[in-house]
Structure 1
Amino acid sequence: MLELLKKNIHMNRWKGNATSQVTLDDDFIVPDSMDDVDQIILSSGEITIDSVKNQAERLVVRGKLDFTILYRGAEGGLQTLSGSINFEEPINVPGLEEQDYVQLMWELEDLNAGIINSRKLSVKALVTLQVKVETAYDVDAAVEVDTGLETTDCPQVEILRRNVDVATIALRHKDTFRIKENLTLSGNKPNIDHILWSEMKLRGVTTRPVDGKMLLDGELMVFVIYQGEGEGAPIQWIEESIPFEGELAVSEVTDDMVPSVTVHLIHKDIEAKPDSDGEMREMDMDAVLELDMKLYREDSMELLSDLYSTNRELSLQTGEACFDKILTKNMSKCKIVEKVSLQNADRILQICHSEGTVKIDDTEVMEDGLHVEGVLEVRMLYLTSDDAQPIQSAVEDIPFHYLIEAPGINADTICQLNPGLEQLSAVMMGGGVVEVKATISLDLLALQPICEQVIISAADAPMDLDHLQKLPGIVGYIVQPGDSLWKIAKKFHTTIDTVMTANGLTEKSVKPGDRLILVKELS
């Protein structure tokens, strides 16, 4: 009796993706306690996703845009207005099933705050939601043959094996990492009356799995504008780079896993507080990072490629199993050096702050690489010589392109690309020209789908003795193109070992034109 020993392979397959754009548009009344609006200086927004519900062939995404606007009042002072816009967006995803795994990515493409009148502002934004869907399935593939007890009726089986490299998702895990820091004003800065504006941005975040934990490090860029204490005190700002490193306990992680990790800043807060002398010269900074971790394990599986018997007739049933293998894991650095000209250049005194956002516009598979096109959106805050409008801002889009090396990439390759900003500086060069230098990180994990024929079952039956007797006991054979020792031995009802012994071969390789003596195996 012939039985196949099978291995159950738990696989994840990309099922599809969908993209939707949400347009947000709302008007906001300036509270009575705040000054009339004369000029908008800065605006920023953050997207928060509250829920993602998986329905039949569609997702329902609920979230909100939290925005902050820094404006100059009619009396000349700076004030901050905050608000939010809720949204609910259904996204059609053909083939989506309830048990599928959904990954949602979002990006605030555009935010525009405008003045309707001195007491009413308009906020418009464009949000892109990108959905990627994976599904889990099991494959049973034959990995060994169990011929039962050794009897005269037992099939004498020749086995051809092959190794297949497979990448499986070993772990999905979400966790948070908190950064708390106390910032102290330098001696030349006045005390804080109140904070007008604050920003936090991640720079150069890297993650690395080790046994039982995930390591991470990077920088948190903090920028604060505040009103100095005392009548007539000038507007002040501080900028700090806070390095951080730490670890998250994840018991299932091993250091040989290949990570695909996205990091979002989901909470940020800065509050002014008194120092030990009771003066408002310190700030408590609190930030929470969310890590969405997906870790792959690379396994080399030995599968059965073919079987035949020298004393029984075997009937094989085969099927197709599709796997993913890791084609490349590549962290690339794209450097940008660009000169831009600002308006009203003659009135610019200095640039006091710059921050950037990396936006990917398009990716294209090229020979041995992935071509990436995008823009670096740089926002600069600068001081002017105009006493009525001493603080101004400008936004510049700097295009970039880069070819990420990925040998073997093709149209079927699944590319998971995480862009980031590692470094950014903006320096006045004179004449209103600003030199922007930046380093963009492009973290690519490329998976290559492969489909293999696998043996699902095998049935054996008695050998056709009449046919066997008609085969010649010994023949001469000239190796043909496409032949292998396995194919030759199977065709002539013998074994590779018998062919090698009869011909004095020391290696299991032949080439077209070789002459062989083939002896029929009698069982």
Structure 2
Amino acid sequence: MIELINDYVKMTKVILVPPSRSVYEHDCIVPDALPDMLKVLVADGVSTVDRVSVMKDQVTVDFSIQYRILYLADNAEASIKSFSTTANHSATFDAPEADSNTECRVECIIEHTEHTYINSRKLAFRTVVKIEPELYNTEEKGITAGLDGLDDIQAQRKTFRISSVCRTENANLSISDVIEIPSGKAPVLDLLRTDARLSDVNFSVDDEKVQVKGFLNICALYVADDANQTTQVLENQIPFTQNLQIEDDEPGVTYDVKTNISNFRADVVEDADGDKRMLALDANIDFLLSGYVTKECEVLTDAYSLTKNFDLDYEVIDTPLKIGEMATQFVLKEIVSKSDEDPSMSEVINVNGTIGQADVIVEDGVVTVEGFVFCNVLYISNDPESPIASFTQQIPFTQTFDRNFDVENPDVKAKLDISHTSYSILSGQELELRIAISVKLDVACINHINTIVEARMPEEADKDFTNRPSILLYVVQPGDTLWKVAKRYSAPLNILQNVNNLANPDVLRPGQKLLIPT
């Protein structure tokens, strides 16, 4: 009887689930309290993952899209109004081997949003959403390192480097702050929209904690309480710091931190004089800390006996190897033009940019990130019939990173964020945009470990060497290795190497002649 000799290692097994890219539709109705729409100025969406349910062989992602609409009202004042509405959706993925104990992380990204003007009270949205689940199980697993029960077993082993998840920590930071409108600006009559995004997020590690620092950037668009009810922009930056404790972790842990704004709200409040010159902000930032340990694991990949027959059963384990990460920033410059139908630009109110679809291509050690930035330009025109106008431009970009990761088929994930946007008006038709985009590349690969789970010996296990010559002359065929030849003829591997004076047993040439003692 042959028994397995197992080494028990903590191993993270990846459940490979392809991402989905689907179109979701939703109709938005103007609230009864607001006037009709004359022209849509800005219409976009923000996605939020509300719940992730992992069941046996299946994962369901419930998410919502908040649509935000800014429009020119069909009234005598041609005023700007805004409203938002939320659509709830769900997506289900097949996830073999998943269960209630499986860890799951989900990225939900809006890649493109377009709308159709149905009538003055209704818009129809079509939104392309990419959902990317990442599922894994971490457990102590027995990996076969050898066989016991026979004295003449020949073993083939391979060393793998594997990364296992040793820590997963969730934290939340609540930020409450009040920002004042500068003295040179008029107070708020109507708050139209407020955007929040994170920038310059980085972390440092010491013996006890991972410290995360960054900025919460605020951009508020509002109608001013002045004679002309002008449209104004207020920008502010709030620093934040969050400490994540790691004092019990073993040495050699590599950490990664993901951040996300889970909730944000802005309300206009009065100052001491009773003027609406202050914005009360409440934000919640989620932090996901992951710790990885990379170790070497020796695995028995094949075996045979010189005198006995036995069969081996295998299991394939997909386990990750974290290679590293890379962070950089580039500036996308582009001259954009309004359409001939839109009125000329007199003054730009705001430029709002969002990252659209982005794809990662890896070839010959070179990583290329290709995608689009959608920029909406809101501006003041000289046309009294359309005093406020806008246009949206899709700007392509390509960024190349020349770096050799020294692994086959690296899995590279890219996270892109717009750090800052600036512009210069060139004419009433054109302006130059400068968009600072931060890029974080997370590089890993999946090791497909073919591990032995059972060795079965038949009742009549003795090999039959009757009528076999004492020595064979073998001509190497394409695809042969010394191991394959030795196993086929039940020959000791070291003797086969010595008899044939093979300096490098890993290299055999088709047509090469080998002497096989038996």
Give TM class, smaller chain.
Answer: 0.7 to 0.9
> Could you say which residue in structure 1 is the equivalent of 2:344?
347
8 Å contact kept, 1:363–1:371: yes
8 Å contact kept, 1:26–1:85: no
1:62–1:384 distance in 2 versus 1, CA, 3 Å: same
> Could you say which residue in structure 1 is the equivalent of 2:42?
42
Q: 3-state SS of the aligned residue for 2:18?
A: strand
Q: Does 1:297 align with 2:293?
A: yes
Distance in structure 1 (CA, Å) of the matches to 2:198 and 2:432: 22
Q: CA deviation at 1:335?
A: 3.4
Distance in structure 2 (CA, Å) of the matches to 1:453 and 1:54: 27
> Could you say which residue in structure 1 is the equivalent of 2:276?
280
Distance in structure 1 (CA, Å) of the matches to 2:61 and 2:446: 29
Name stretches of at least 5 consecutive residues in structure 1 with no aligned partner.
Answer: 148-153, 473-479, 500-506, 513-523
- Of the candidates 368, 373, 392, which is equivalent to residue 371 of structure 1? 368
Q: 3-state SS of the aligned residue for 2:394?
A: strand
Superposition pairs of residues 62-81 of structure 1, within 5 angstroms: 62-73=62-73, 74-76=75-77, 78-81=79-82
Distance in structure 2 (CA, Å) of the matches to 1:22 and 1:492: 61
Q: CA deviation at 1:12?
A: 1.7
> Could you say which residue in structure 2 is the equivalent of 1:116?
119
8 Å contact kept, 2:48–2:108: no
Distance in structure 1 (CA, Å) of the matches to 2:97 and 2:83: 37
Give, as a single letter, the amino acid of the residue that structure 2 aligns with 1:329. Answer: E
Task: Using the TM superposition, name which of 406-415 and 357-366 deviates more.
Answer: 406-415
Give, as a single letter, the amino acid of the residue that structure 1 aligns with 2:48. Answer: T
Distance in structure 2 (CA, Å) of the matches to 1:107 and 1:192: 32
Give, as a single letter, the amino acid of the residue that structure 1 aligns with 2:108. Answer: W
Distance in structure 1 (CA, Å) of the matches to 2:332 and 2:412: 23
> Could you say which residue in structure 1 is the equivalent of 2:106?
104
Distance in structure 1 (CA, Å) of the matches to 2:455 and 2:94: 40
- The TM-score, its normalising length taken from structure 2, stands at 0.75
Give, as a single letter, the amino acid of the residue that structure 1 aligns with 2:165. Answer: I
> Could you say which residue in structure 1 is the equivalent of 2:231?
235
Superposition pairs of residues 182-193 of structure 1, within 5 angstroms: 182-193=178-189
> Could you say which residue in structure 2 is the equivalent of 1:504?
none
Superposition pairs of residues 254-265 of structure 1, within 5 angstroms: 256-265=252-261
8 Å contact kept, 2:138–2:164: no
Q: 3-state SS of the aligned residue for 2:426?
A: strand
8 Å contact kept, 2:28–2:122: yes
Superposition pairs of residues 168-207 of structure 1, within 5 angstroms: 168-207=164-203
Task: Using the TM superposition, name which of 443-452 and 158-167 deviates more.
Answer: 158-167
Superposition pairs of residues 308-387 of structure 1, within 5 angstroms: 319=314, 322=317, 323-343=319-339, 347-387=344-384
> Could you say which residue in structure 2 is the equivalent of 1:429?
426
1:212–1:359 distance in 2 versus 1, CA, 3 Å: farther
1:70–1:410 distance in 2 versus 1, CA, 3 Å: same
Q: CA deviation at 1:159?
A: 9.4
Structure showing greater radius of gyration is 1
Superposition pairs of residues 344-493 of structure 1, within 5 angstroms: 347-405=344-402, 407=404, 412-430=409-427, 432-452=429-449
Q: 3-state SS of the aligned residue for 1:284?
A: strand
1:307–1:233 distance in 2 versus 1, CA, 3 Å: closer
8 Å contact kept, 1:358–1:419: yes
Distance in structure 2 (CA, Å) of the matches to 1:274 and 1:510: 79
1:328–1:428 distance in 2 versus 1, CA, 3 Å: same
> Could you say which residue in structure 2 is the equivalent of 1:52?
52
Q: Could you give the per-residue CA deviations for residues 480-499 of structure 1, whole angstroms, max 9, x where no partner exists?
A: 99889xx9xx977999xxx9
Give, as a single letter, the amino acid of the residue that structure 1 aligns with 2:32. Answer: P
Task: Using the TM superposition, name which of 427-436 and 344-353 deviates more.
Answer: 344-353
> Could you say which residue in structure 2 is the equivalent of 1:132?
133
Distance in structure 1 (CA, Å) of the matches to 2:169 and 2:161: 24
Q: CA deviation at 1:444?
A: 2.3
Q: CA deviation at 1:116?
A: 0.6
Q: Could you give the per-residue CA deviations for residues 478-522 of structure 1, whole angstroms, max 9, x where no partner exists?
A: xx99889xx9xx977999xxx9xxxxxxx999999xxxxxxxxxx
1:200–1:452 distance in 2 versus 1, CA, 3 Å: closer
Distance in structure 1 (CA, Å) of the matches to 2:429 and 2:436: 23
Distance in structure 1 (CA, Å) of the matches to 2:332 and 2:247: 40
8 Å contact kept, 2:154–2:493: no
8 Å contact kept, 2:28–2:124: yes
1:249–1:351 distance in 2 versus 1, CA, 3 Å: farther
8 Å contact kept, 1:328–1:406: no
1:173–1:78 distance in 2 versus 1, CA, 3 Å: farther
Distance in structure 2 (CA, Å) of the matches to 1:7 and 1:257: 21
Q: Could you give the per-residue CA deviations for residues 277-311 of structure 1, whole angstroms, max 9, x where no partner exists?
A: 4433222222222234444321123556899999x
- The TM-score, its normalising length taken from structure 1, stands at 0.75
Name stretches of at least 5 consecutive residues in structure 2 with no aligned partner.
Answer: 471-475, 509-518
Give, as a single letter, the amino acid of the residue that structure 2 aligns with 1:12. Answer: K
Distance in structure 2 (CA, Å) of the matches to 1:510 and 1:94: 38
Q: 3-state SS of the aligned residue for 1:17?
A: coil
> Could you say which residue in structure 1 is the equivalent of 2:512?
none
1:393–1:291 distance in 2 versus 1, CA, 3 Å: farther
1:252–1:359 distance in 2 versus 1, CA, 3 Å: farther
Q: CA deviation at 1:205?
A: 3.0
> Could you say which residue in structure 2 is the equivalent of 1:477?
none
Identity of aligned residues (%): 16
8 Å contact kept, 1:59–1:93: yes
8 Å contact kept, 2:52–2:62: yes
8 Å contact kept, 1:140–1:456: no
> Could you say which residue in structure 2 is the equivalent of 1:95?
96
Q: CA deviation at 1:415?
A: 3.1
Q: CA deviation at 1:275?
A: 2.9
8 Å contact kept, 1:377–1:395: yes
1:55–1:86 distance in 2 versus 1, CA, 3 Å: farther
Q: 3-state SS of the aligned residue for 2:16?
A: strand
Task: Using the TM superposition, name which of 281-290 and 243-252 deviates more.
Answer: 243-252
Distance in structure 2 (CA, Å) of the matches to 1:288 and 1:393: 31
Distance in structure 1 (CA, Å) of the matches to 2:286 and 2:304: 54
> Could you say which residue in structure 2 is the equivalent of 1:28?
29
Distance in structure 1 (CA, Å) of the matches to 2:434 and 2:209: 35
Q: CA deviation at 1:225?
A: 2.4
Distance in structure 2 (CA, Å) of the matches to 1:509 and 1:93: 44
Distance in structure 2 (CA, Å) of the matches to 1:308 and 1:121: 73
Q: Could you give the per-residue CA deviations for residues 352-394 of structure 1, whole angstroms, max 9, x where no partner exists?
A: 3222212234333311133322101122222223345333222
Q: CA deviation at 1:127?
A: 4.2
Q: CA deviation at 1:14?
A: 3.4
Give, as a single letter, the amino acid of the residue that structure 2 aligns with 1:187. Answer: S
